[in-house]
Structure 1
Amino acid sequence: MKIEDLKLFTTVVELGNFTAAANALDLPRANVSRRINDLEKALSIQLFFRTTRSLSLTKSGELYYHELTKALTALEKANRVASNLLEIPHGRVKIGLLPETGDIIQASLFKFQDLYPEIELDIRSINNGFLDMYRQGLDLAMHGGRLHDTNVVARKVMDLQRIFVASPTYLEQFGSPANLNELVSHKFICFRWPSGDIDKQWEILDQVIKVEPKVVSDSIGFVKGATCRHRGISLLPELLVRQELKDGTLINLFPQKEVKTEEAWLLYPQRKALSHASQLLIDFLLQELPKI
């Protein structure tokens, strides 16, 4: 009985089916099914009830899962102690980055790898940290804005100052708003939060600006791209558009107005024991990212 097969079993339980576990672990689905069958034979018990549409734990499977997670947590702790004694941290960390944040934290990730050359960084492109955490079997994921999933642990890494931006071409065509009240006559590109809510009500000092968007996307990168392509005004993190502001691709409409900040977070699964490599990366990013 292999430790990898035991971990595979817990992954199937947590993700709900063989296909999701296969995708998360980069394995063929048939491989997952075969290994779970072999585990059941080795244990001489049935772990799952299987139908063409669903997968659920048997009573024996449920009891085994709860005891196994305790044992695997203890094993991970022992492995971390051993790694510390060796003083050569190693392993693989799968981290999910929003496409538009890769350039921002790339230097920090390479600095970490220079400190720990035996740690492999597996960078995955994600659209939603909460969903892709499980879909891709991530150890860590970056997230900006509201938190809504109690099944993950969130560690704050920085505050994100948001600003109103538009392209020069858009402003030439539709005019530049002289004050906040004139925003209502403009086109807007708005972000859809993972909760499904549209970000169309913005707090500026003691004033609340409500708009009706012409374009909505759950990708902050798409919102930025649409703004650069003259589709309207958007409210974006200054850090995300710093280069565009510098080269004139985008213009900060109200540099003197202070908009309510959002927060950036590191996410990791609540029920998953952190490897030593993952914990080192979390601690490193918590120190490095605020410096950006």
Structure 2
Amino acid sequence: MRIEDLKLFTIVVKLGSFTAAATALDLPRANVSRRIGELEKSLNAQLFFRTTRQLRLTQHGEAYYHELLTVLEGFEQAKNKLHDIDDKPVGKVKVGFLPESDEALQPILARFQEQYPDIELDLRFTNNYVTDIYSQGLDFAIHGGRILDSGFIARRLLSLGRCMYASPEYIEKNGMPKTLDELREHQCICYRWPDGTLDDCWDLLTETIKVSGRFSSNHMGFVRRAIIGGQGIGFLPPLFAFNAIESEGLVRILPQYQSKTEDVWLIYPDRRGISLPTRLLIDFLVKEVPKLATLS
């Protein structure tokens, strides 16, 4: 009986199917099914009722699952103590990041791996932490905006607003808007939210400005590149255009206007059984990410 198989059992329970667990762990479904079968054989007990439509715990499986969570937590804490003594943490951390936040976060992650060279990072971009934490088997995720599920542990990292930007080429060709009324006469590049809503009403602290343009996208990367390419003025978080702002490839428009802000959170499902590499990365991000607030 291996610790990895016990952990696999708890993941199958949390996700509700062998297929979901296989997807989260990047394993073949047959591998998951075989290992759970071997675990049941070694325990001489049936852990799941299997039907074509659902997978649910037997009475033995239910009791075993709840006791096992405590055992695995103790095992993880004991392993962490050994690594603390050796001062050489080893392991893998699977993390969900906001799309297009890579420019700002990649240097932070590089510094982390310089400090902890034996920790492997598996990075996944995610738009929905509620489903992706379990479906992709993430140790934690970074989320911007309102917390959608109180069943998770959330640690606030920073608050970021959005700013209006254009490329120097666009400004040279079309002029710099001096007022919000002038902004209405310019081509603006708008993001389309996942629900299909077009973000053409830009929320500022003092008012909301309605803009128009010929280009929109539901991918923030396209929006960013279109602004850099001189197609129009955009409204985006500085975090998503870090390099272009640093290199002056983007110029801030109407800087006297401040936008409303949104909180950025670090979210994970449970404190129990958290690995040392995961804890170290969480602590590192909690320390380093707030420094990005100076961008806005």
Q: Normalising to structure 1: TM-score of the pair?
A: 0.83
Asked if 2 retains the 8 angstrom alpha-carbon contact of 1:157 and 1:289, the reply is yes
Q: In the aligned structure 2, how far is the partner of 1:196 from the partner of 1:45?
A: 49
Q: In the aligned structure 2, how far is the partner of 1:140 from the partner of 1:104?
A: 18
Paired residue total: 289
Q: In the aligned structure 2, how far is the partner of 1:47 from the partner of 1:199?
A: 49
> What residue number does 1:268 align with?
268
- Displacement after TM superposition at 1:29 (Å): 0.9
1:70-149 aligned within 5 A: 70-118=70-118, 120-128=119-127, 130=129, 131-149=131-149
- Displacement after TM superposition at 1:163 (Å): 0.4
> What residue number does 1:215 align with?
216
What secondary structure is seen at the aligned counterpart in 2 of 1:61?
Answer: helix
Over 3 Å counting, the alpha-carbon distance change for 1:231 and 1:269 in structure 2 is: farther
Over 3 Å counting, the alpha-carbon distance change for 1:148 and 1:231 in structure 2 is: farther
> What residue number does 2:15 align with?
15
What secondary structure is seen at the aligned counterpart in 2 of 1:100?
Answer: coil
Q: In the aligned structure 2, how far is the partner of 1:99 from the partner of 1:252?
A: 22
Q: In the aligned structure 2, how far is the partner of 1:62 from the partner of 1:124?
A: 32
Letter in 2 for 1:280: L
Over 3 Å counting, the alpha-carbon distance change for 1:191 and 1:78 in structure 2 is: farther
Over 3 Å counting, the alpha-carbon distance change for 1:16 and 1:237 in structure 2 is: same
Asked if 1 retains the 8 angstrom alpha-carbon contact of 2:24 and 2:137, the reply is yes
Asked if 2 retains the 8 angstrom alpha-carbon contact of 1:94 and 1:138, the reply is yes
> What residue number does 2:163 align with?
163
Over 3 Å counting, the alpha-carbon distance change for 1:91 and 1:230 in structure 2 is: same
Over 3 Å counting, the alpha-carbon distance change for 1:199 and 1:74 in structure 2 is: farther
> What residue number does 2:193 align with?
192
Q: In the aligned structure 1, how far is the partner of 2:225 from the partner of 2:257?
A: 23
Q: In the aligned structure 1, how far is the partner of 2:262 from the partner of 2:19?
A: 35
What secondary structure is seen at the aligned counterpart in 1 of 2:133?
Answer: helix
Residues 120-150 of structure 1, C-alpha deviations (whole Å, 9 max, x = no match): 2223231325033222212232222332133
Asked if 2 retains the 8 angstrom alpha-carbon contact of 1:203 and 1:260, the reply is yes
- Displacement after TM superposition at 1:278 (Å): 0.9
Structure 1 unaligned segments of length 5 or more: list them. none
Asked if 1 retains the 8 angstrom alpha-carbon contact of 2:189 and 2:226, the reply is no
Q: In the aligned structure 2, how far is the partner of 1:14 from the partner of 1:201?
A: 40
Between 1:31-40 and 1:270-279, the stretch displaced more is: 270-279
- Displacement after TM superposition at 1:87 (Å): 2.8
Between 1:235-244 and 1:264-273, the stretch displaced more is: 264-273
Q: Normalising to structure 2: TM-score of the pair?
A: 0.82
- Displacement after TM superposition at 1:231 (Å): 5.7
Asked if 2 retains the 8 angstrom alpha-carbon contact of 1:188 and 1:215, the reply is yes
Q: In the aligned structure 2, how far is the partner of 1:47 from the partner of 1:211?
A: 58
Residues 176-217 of structure 1, C-alpha deviations (whole Å, 9 max, x = no match): 654335556655412526x88765554312323456896352
> What residue number does 2:180 align with?
180
Between 1:91-100 and 1:13-22, the stretch displaced more is: 91-100
Over 3 Å counting, the alpha-carbon distance change for 1:69 and 1:223 in structure 2 is: farther
Structure 2 unaligned segments of length 5 or more: list them. none
Q: In the aligned structure 2, how far is the partner of 1:280 from the partner of 1:98?
A: 20
Letter in 1 for 2:124: S
What secondary structure is seen at the aligned counterpart in 2 of 1:143?
Answer: strand
Asked if 2 retains the 8 angstrom alpha-carbon contact of 1:167 and 1:250, the reply is yes
Asked if 2 retains the 8 angstrom alpha-carbon contact of 1:133 and 1:141, the reply is yes
Asked if 1 retains the 8 angstrom alpha-carbon contact of 2:23 and 2:136, the reply is yes
